[in-house]
């Protein structure tokens, strides 16, 4: 019991020191989750994946653990020492075995929607992500899972759907179901827009894609036109608010829905509380939150990011580690949403967001 009390005090001290250094709120539970991940793997990026904490917090916690003699670095990996095992013996490893291997924890049968093979072949020729637009696409499985979830919730058939930013080719996958009344895709990257329109034309899909900088006000004809939106907004608070309000501005009103990709790797739970307030104050309610829903393919510019720079060890990111949560919202009262110009030059980065 005494050893456990000492361990809890240690967690509190590490959390306090990590918060002071990173300027991000850190709780003892956050540190506990990171320790659980460290017990599971020595790869830094997988520790981020298992703990689901902002990268600066994970990096600083690991540095503090090393400074206290609990861990060491060896061949760009993290090695647990005997002192660590004794001090934190009550913290178990992360049990990935508890995640369903068939659906990968999503609770969705992606084969049932009937477009997997066709979409998989189409996406092989997609443009590669580039850092200029903060791009990083999810796996084909993840895209089909998004569309499958939307189908399960009754949000595709005879619906008008707008996709605000589409690194993941969700617009193509939606149109392949032949269920929506209309699918409109907006993205700043002309390569993606051209690819989407080429696929739409060759397949005869009800799909239209336009080059558009989402920092600018949306066209007036989009106001109250759509039943559903899909977006992965930047998670800096002001940028998130602007993107979400613009997305809701496009919706018809009560009963309309939105699908939002959010991370716990670029946003702490403390920031999440602020982001959720934005959703609620806009006239929506959160109906679904599914963790680790979207699995991201590793992007080529990873070593040029702030995340790589602050990583305490430069472990290779050889397997999928960056994941995001799927959030579904539904409008329950008259929306409060603005269609404004985003003036800030850099919309992607704050103290917690480091992967751009």
Q: What is the pLDDT of residues 122-154, one digit of tens each?
A: 999 988 766 555 557 899 999 999 999 999 999
Predicted pLDDT of residue 353: 82
266 and 324 in contact (C-beta within 8 Å)? no
Question: Any residues with CB less than 8 A from the CB of 223 and at least 6 apart, and which?
Answer: 249, 250, 339
**Domain ranges, residue 27:** 2-91
d(CA 267, CA 253): 29
Predicted pLDDT of residue 127: 81
Predicted pLDDT of residue 2: 46
What is the SS3 assignment for 184-208? EEEECCHHHHHHHHHHHHHHCCCEE
All residue ranges of the chain with pLDDT < 50 are 1-2
Asked whether residue 171 is domain-assigned, the answer is yes
Q: How many CA atoms lie within 13 A of 162 on its CB side?
A: 27
Are 192 and 306 part of one and the same domain? yes
Domain of 27, CATH number, reads 1.10.10.10
d(CA 324, CA 306): 19
Are 223 and 77 part of one and the same domain? no
Domain of 194, CATH number, reads 3.40.50.150
What predicted TM-score, i.e. pTM, was given to this entire model?
A: 0.93
Predicted pLDDT of residue 289: 97
Burial class (CB in 10 A: 0-12, 13-18, 19+), 310: middle
Predicted pLDDT of residue 31: 97
Are 182 and 237 part of one and the same domain? yes
How many structural domains are present in the chain?
A: 2
> Strands 160-164 and 228-231, how do they pair?
parallel
Boundary residue ending a domain (64, 91, 118): 91
d(CA 245, CA 31): 34
Are 163 and 60 part of one and the same domain? no
Are 68 and 149 part of one and the same domain? no
C-alpha distances in Å from residue 248, one per residue of 181, 237, 259, 280: 19, 16, 11, 11
Predicted pLDDT of residue 313: 94
Predicted pLDDT of residue 83: 92
Are 63 and 8 part of one and the same domain? yes
Are 219 and 293 part of one and the same domain? yes
């Amino acid at each position: 019991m005494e050893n456990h009390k000492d361990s809890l005090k240690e967690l509190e001290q590490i959390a306090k020191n990590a918060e002071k250094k990173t300027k991000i709120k850190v709780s003892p539970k956050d540190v506990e989750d990171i320790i659980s991940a460290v017990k599971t793997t020595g790869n830094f990026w997988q520790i981020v994946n298992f703990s689901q904490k902002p990268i600066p917090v994970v990096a600083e916690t690991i540095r503090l653990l090393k400074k206290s003699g609990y861990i060491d670095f060896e061949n760009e990996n993290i090695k647990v020492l005997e002192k660590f095992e004794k001090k934190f013996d009550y913290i178990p490893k992360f049990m990935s075995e508890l995640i369903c291997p068939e659906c990968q924890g999503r609770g969705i049968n992606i084969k049932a929607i009937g477009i997997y093979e066709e979409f998989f072949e189409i996406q092989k020729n997609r443009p590669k992500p580039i850092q200029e637009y903060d791009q990083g696409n999810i796996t084909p499985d993840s895209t089909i899972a998004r569309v499958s979830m939307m189908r399960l919730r009754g949000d595709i058939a005879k619906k008008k759907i707008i996709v605000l930013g589409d690194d993941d080719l969700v617009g193509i996958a939606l149109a392949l179901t032949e269920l929506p009344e209309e699918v409109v895709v907006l993205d700043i990257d002309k390569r993606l827009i051209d690819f989407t329109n080429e696929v739409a034309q060759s397949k005869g899909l009800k799909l239209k894609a336009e080059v558009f900088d989402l920092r600018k006000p949306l066209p007036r004809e989009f106001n109250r036109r759509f039943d559903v939106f899909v977006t992965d907004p930047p998670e800096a608070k002001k940028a998130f608010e602007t993107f979400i309000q613009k997305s809701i501005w496009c919706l018809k009103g009560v009963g309309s829905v939105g699908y939002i990709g959010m991370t716990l790797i670029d946003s702490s739970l403390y920031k999440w509380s602020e982001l959720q307030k934005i959703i609620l104050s806009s006239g929506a309610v959160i109906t679904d939150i599914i963790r680790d829903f979207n699995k991201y393919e590793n992007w080529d510019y990873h070593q040029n990011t702030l995340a790589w720079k602050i990583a305490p060890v430069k472990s290779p990111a050889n397997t999928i580690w960056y994941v995001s949560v799927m959030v579904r919202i539904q409008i329950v009262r008259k929306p409060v949403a603005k269609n404004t110009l985003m003036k800030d030059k850099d919309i992607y980065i704050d103290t917690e967001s480091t992967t751009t």
